[in-house]
Amino acid sequence: MSENWIKTLSVYQIPDEEAVDFDVGSNKKIAIFNVNNNFFATDNLCTHEDASLCDGYIDGDTVECPLHQGVFKISTGEVLEPPVTKNLKTYKTKIVDGNIFVDLNS
Amino acid sequence: MSGVIIIGAGHAGSRTAQYLREYGYSEKIMLFGEEDVPPYERPPLSKQILDGSKEIIDCYLHDQEYYESKNIQLYLNNKICSVNFKKKEVIDKNSIKYNYDKLVFATGSTPNKINLKNIDGIFYLRTQKDSLEIKDYVKDKNDIAIIGAGFIGLEIASFIRQKYNDKNITIIDSYDKILRRNSNDLIRKKITKLHQENKIKFIFNSEIISVQGKNKIDEVILQDNYNIKSDMMIVGIGVKPNTVLLKEENIDISNGIKVDEYCQTAINDAYAVGDASCYKSLVLKRFIREESWNNAEKQPRILAQNIIGNKIPYNEIPWFWTDQFGHNFQILGQIESFDKVITREYGDHKSISFFLENNKIVGACSLNNSKDLRVAKEIMLKKIYIENSVLQNINFNLKQIIKNNINE
């Protein structure tokens, strides 16, 4: 599939070890994480139940779901702690002029 | 080797089997359940099942093939009727005997019942079958009486109201306010207000005496001859841990099956987990029994470790959540006895209250604010001291403060 880069937030809108959600249309949001000034994008909802990972507890490169405390690695979406079993979808990001671009087709 | 027998195929029983396999246990695992569906999570029974946003199949912990693939023998629609601890043997409802090396009581709990005449329209909620029956029966009813203003009763009211705007819903409790246990007035006030705004009526300080109706209920009779018209009644007045298999043994089952921090009972090679267990809480420094998703989820991991020989204590802080009219409340630790409460208000229905005893955080309760609650857990586990003024001031980022504290 061809790339589909969209402009999301400015790097200044997301403090370190925080995440902000971004509406990408069709009732879908992605989460954009700042991990030590590296920016990562993932699906916003936990793969276990509908909870926003932006409300989760971020510790380094990990995010813990606010509802059931499953843990994902932010940079890869890999499951680190149950009860989640399914990896989180991640998207490629790039920074252009201080803005975070996300490839929705990645 | 005879392997592990787990009595009770609920959340805790299923997770015990799962983690035994994940941690490398290779002997036989037999999981016995009385219901006819694979193990499932119970929180949605009083929530999303009732408003139709979830099906039971969405709540299964695993599908049936999972158990086969992991070589876990799942005996559904069965019942263990007795245990011979000397012979290390259990007997099921068909009088078949099974031997074990280790036995796990994941027997759960049963709703407390009110002794009333047996007519249609009276419901209790514990199983998926109960929840589906309530969901179906409520459709064409107009006057719903809910006995018990605990979390279950309140959730049921909330989710029925969200689906049906026009039904009369009345919650009756013998106490003078909602949430008799594991709560405090701050939370009570907020939840009561939400319900009143959504036309839920409360009757406090009142006990049910009887029900009227020929074949099905049409009236609830309360003390002082107060009658309420009601074509459906749902009772949520707490649960009793299922301990009957241990009643002949010389061990403490006064509030569940007493176990140490390793989930071990006083009987050799017998363990208990989940709602049925009364465990030694290292955090609260007393024996407690929980009725929570979190305990059913986390305690089995520790139990499985101990069964395979890794002596690891259970060190979890009690935590649970409830959803009421689209608002999420979470409660952490001990919020019944404290000498100070400090609240962080973010406005717009978002807050957290910290409960302190001798200036130490012993519990917290959040409203639509799971993030701060998670930080509170870190503060409690790591025993970090934070000035009261900092706790209260939303301009201080609590997470940064504890990070700095840990790094120092």
Q: Is B259 left (phi over 0), alpha (psi -120 to 50) or beta?
A: beta
Residue B266 · residue B259 · CB < 8 Å: no
Is A67 in contact with B371 (Cβ distance < 8 A)? Answer: no
**Taking CA atoms, what residue in B is nearest to A67?**
B370
Mention every residue, 6+ apart, whose C-beta is less than 8 A from residue B391. B342, B344, B354, B398
**DSSP line for B334-362:** --SS-SEEEEEEEETTEEEEEEEETTEEE
Ranges of residues in chain B with a pLDDT under 70 are: 406-408
For testing contact with chain A, the best of B20, B59, B66, B374 (most A CBs within 10 A): B374
Residue B352 · residue B344 · CB < 8 Å: yes
Q: What is the pLDDT of residues B163-176, one digit of tens each?
A: 999 999 999 999 99
Mention every residue, 6+ apart, whose C-beta is less than 8 A from residue A82. A70, B297
Mention every residue, 6+ apart, whose C-beta is less than 8 A from residue B299. B12, B263, B273, B274, B277, B279, B314, B316
Is B370 in contact with A68 (Cβ distance < 8 A)? Answer: no
**Domain residue limits, chain B:** 4-109+240-307, 113-235, 326-407
Architecture of domain B4-109+240-307: 3-Layer(bba) Sandwich (3.50)
Is B370 in contact with A83 (Cβ distance < 8 A)? Answer: no
B293, B297, B371 member nearest A66 (Cβ):
B371
Quick one: tokens of B78?
A: 């069965």
Is A57 in contact with B375 (Cβ distance < 8 A)? Answer: yes
- Chain A residues in contact with B371 (beta carbon < 8 A): 55-57, 66
pTM: 0.91
B374, B378, B403 member nearest A66 (Cβ):
B374
Ranges of residues in chain A with a pLDDT under 50 are: none
Is B371 in contact with A56 (Cβ distance < 8 A)? Answer: yes
ipTM: 0.81
A17, A57, A83 member nearest B374 (Cβ):
A57
**Taking CA atoms, what residue in B is nearest to A84?**
B61
pLDDT attached to residue B66: 97
Query: From residue B126, how far is each of B48, B138, B288, B291 by CA, in Å?
Result: 15, 17, 21, 12
Share of chain B above pLDDT 70, in %: 99
For testing contact with chain A, the best of B319, B352, B370, B397 (most A CBs within 10 A): B370
The single-letter DSSP state of residue B264 is B
Residue A97 · residue A5 · CB < 8 Å: no
Report the gap between the CA of A3 and the closest CA in chain B (Å): 34
**Do the domains B113-235 and B4-109+240-307 match in fold?**
yes
- Chain B residues in contact with A56 (beta carbon < 8 A): 370-371, 374
Q: Which fold has domain B113-235?
A: FAD/NAD(P)-binding domain (3.50.50)
Is B293 in contact with A68 (Cβ distance < 8 A)? Answer: yes
Mention every residue, 6+ apart, whose C-beta is less than 8 A from residue A64. A56, A57, A58, A70, A71, A81, B374
pLDDT attached to residue B73: 98
Domain covering B326-407 in this structure, CATH number: 3.30.390.30
Is A64 in contact with B371 (Cβ distance < 8 A)? Answer: no
Report the gap between the CA of A66 and the closest CA in chain B (Å): 6
- Chain A residues in contact with B374 (beta carbon < 8 A): 56-57, 64, 66, 69
Domains defined for chain A, CATH in brackets: 5-103 (2.102.10.10)
Q: For residue A101, what are the β-bridge partners?
A: A7, A94
For testing contact with chain B, the best of A21, A68, A81, A85 (most B CBs within 10 A): A68
